[in-house]
Amino acid sequence: MSEISKLLELRKLLLDMEDSMGLQDLSTVERDIYYVANDHARSAGTVKTTTLQDHALLANVSRPTFFRALKSLQGKGYLEHCKDSVRGYYTVKTPAK
Amino acid sequence: MQRLATETCIVSLAYLSAFFATFEILMPLQNLFFAKSAHSASLLFLPHGVRVLTAWLLGWRAPLVLLPGVSFVFFYVAGWGALTPSRLAAIAIAVCIPTLCFQLLRLLGHDLRPAPGKPPCWPCIMAVGLMIAIATSLLTNYAFGSPPMDYAAYLIGDIGGLFFLMLILMVIFRRLRSYGL
């Protein structure tokens, strides 16, 4: 695990803490999608919708809930649709608040 | 090797920052409110948080990367007295116990190491932090031959320090997010 990914793990831990304290602006499904997207984007640079859907953490999330959360994450600036790629690919962003 | 050197620099810097924040900012404040306190232990010992988070993130490499920072702090506080057997034992306890606790839990089936796709659990880290604080307090104070009051003060300081450090980091990350970083 690189220094950057350790920083991401630390950030994930503190996002979990924020969530517990009611300070986070993400729902549970949104947060799980963001975690999984972060992990995949770390190695591949981008993440595909089907990769997210197939992940164990999101296996029990219904399709409508999943796509609602995905859209919400784009709206909040956590994910961005890849412009120079085919449909269904996203890059992970750090939103400006 | 370069990675280990980088990790050692980052962790040592974090440990020293936490130590100086504790002893130059928090302890003077503590002394204002608890002026009659008989012991000199900090009730918010931030370096414990650095030890716990380092052991969680780095596993077996943690003792090695913690050693320079922890040794420096002992030399800063005690001078050459840091080389007495009880203080050398305290250094060994401070750098080894966090990793040993995480590894012991892993052997018992509770693997808390961060991994891709694994959701983090901050209450679990706090619980391990408590376990590490108990072990460290018992062993360190036994090595020093401290009075019972110090055992409790170390324990409170370590747990408070871990929680407070995580709060500080949470605020820093929120600030960074607000600046788009």
Q: What domains does chain A contain, in order, with CATH numbers?
A: 3-92 (1.10.10.10)
**pLDDT truncated to tens, each residue of chain A (97 aa)?**
566 678 888 888 888 888 787 767 777 788 888 888 877 776 767 888 888 888 877 888 889 999 999 988 888 888 888 877 667 888 887 665 4
Does the interface predicted TM-score (ipTM) exceed 0.90? no
Task: Write the DSSP string, chain B.
Answer: -HHHHHHHHHHHHHHHHHHHHIIIIIHHHHHHHSTT--S---SS-HHHHHHHHHHHHHGGGHHHHHHHHHHHHHHHHHGGGGGSHHHHHHHHHHHHHHHHHHHHHHHTT------TTPPP-HHHHHHHHHHHHHHHHHHHHHHHT--HHHHHHHHHHHHHHHHHHHHHHHHHHHHHHHTT-
Distance CA B31, CA B160 (A): 16
Q: Name the residue of chain B whose CA is nearest to A4's CA.
A: B7
Query: Is A84 within 8 Å of chain B by CB?
Result: no
- Which residues share a beta bridge with B42? none
Distance CA B64, CA A29 (A): 38
Residue of A1, A3, A17 lying closest to B122 (CB–CB): A17
- Tokens 């994450």 sit on residue: A73
Least confident piece of the model among A34-43, B80-89, B91-100, B130-139: A34-43
Torsion angle defined by CA atoms of residues A23, A29, A34 and A37, in that order, rounded to the nearest 10 degrees: 170
* B121 contacts on A by Cβ (under 8 Å): 16
What token pair was written down for A29? 């499904």
- Tokens 């981008």 sit on residue: A46
Straight-line distance from the first to the last Cα atom of chain A, in angstroms, rounded to the nearest whole number: 29
Task: Report CB contact under 8 Å: A35, B178.
Answer: no
Q: Name the residue range of residue B132's domain.
A: 2-178
Average pLDDT over residues B40-65: 91
Residues B133-173 have pLDDT tens digits of 999 999 998 888 888 778 888 889 999 999 999 999 988 88
* A12 contacts on B by Cβ (under 8 Å): 114, 119-120
Task: Report CB contact under 8 Å: B173, A6.
Answer: no
Query: Is A13 within 8 Å of chain B by CB?
Result: yes
Average pLDDT over residues B35-41: 61
Residue of B119, B122, B123 lying closest to A57 (CB–CB): B119
| Contacts (Cβ under 8 Å, ≥6 apart) of B2 | none
> Which of B69, B63, B72 lies closest to B92 in space, CA to CA?
B63
Task: Report CB contact under 8 Å: B116, A55.
Answer: no
| Contacts (Cβ under 8 Å, ≥6 apart) of B165 | B18, B46, B48, B49, B50, B53
Burial B154-167 (b: 16+ CB within 10 A, else e): bbbbbbbbbbbbbe
pLDDT category at B181 given cuts 50, 70, 90 is low
Distance CA B172, CA B181 (A): 11
Neighbours of B139 (CB within 10 A): 17
pLDDT category at B15 given cuts 50, 70, 90 is very high
Q: How many domains does chain B have?
A: 1
* A96 contacts on B by Cβ (under 8 Å): 177-180
| Rg of chain A on CA atoms, in Å | 13
User: H or E element: which one contains A51?
Assistant: helix A49-54
> Which of B155, B164, B160 lies closest to B136 in space, CA to CA?
B155
Question: What is residue B151's predicted lDDT score, i.e. its pLDDT?
Answer: 85
Question: What is residue A16's predicted lDDT score, i.e. its pLDDT?
Answer: 83
CB A52 within 8 A of CB A27: no
* A42 contacts on B by Cβ (under 8 Å): 116
Question: What is residue A97's predicted lDDT score, i.e. its pLDDT?
Answer: 47
B67 CA: distance to closest CA in chain A (Å): 19
